[in-house]
Amino acid sequence: MFKAVILLTRRADLTHQQFADWWLAEHAPLAAQLPGVRRLCFNLVDPTGDTAVDDAAPDGVSELWFDSKADFEAAYATEIGMAVAADSMAHLASRVRMLVTEHEVVAER
């Protein structure tokens, strides 16, 4: 299985809460429509924790699983994929996309 991890940093004019509201209520349902996506997980950074959010730190980390890199690329080449990317870039100061190989060390207990 192929996995993409994306670090998302909100635009400077958005608060962390505004980012969270948009990302979870508006963007997540859009991203869930990506063709071929097997699993999708949005991880919101806790602004009160050890990884406190500042203007340069990521506000969220998304994880997307597909059967292959080709399926991932094909999904973002579709109309819905382009809409997902455009929606992201309209709300973000930066996006770092990493294509990773997952090595599970401890399975669910």
109: pLDDT confidence band, cut at 50, 70 and 90?
Answer: confident
20: closest CA among 63, 59, 55, 54? 59
What is the pTM for the complete model shown? 0.89
Residue 51, in any domain of the structure: yes
Q: Band the pLDDT of 31: cuts 50, 70, 90.
A: very high
Name the one residue in this structure whose structure tokens are 């080709």: 70
Domain range spanning residue 86? 2-100
**What is the tally of structural domains in the chain?**
1
Residue 105 falls within a domain, yes or no?
A: no
- Confidence bin at 53 (pLDDT 50/70/90): low
pLDDT at site 50: 63
pLDDT tens-digit readout, 71-85: 999 999 999 999 999
Q: Bigger pLDDT: 52 or 17?
A: 17
Residue reference for tokens 């294509």: 99
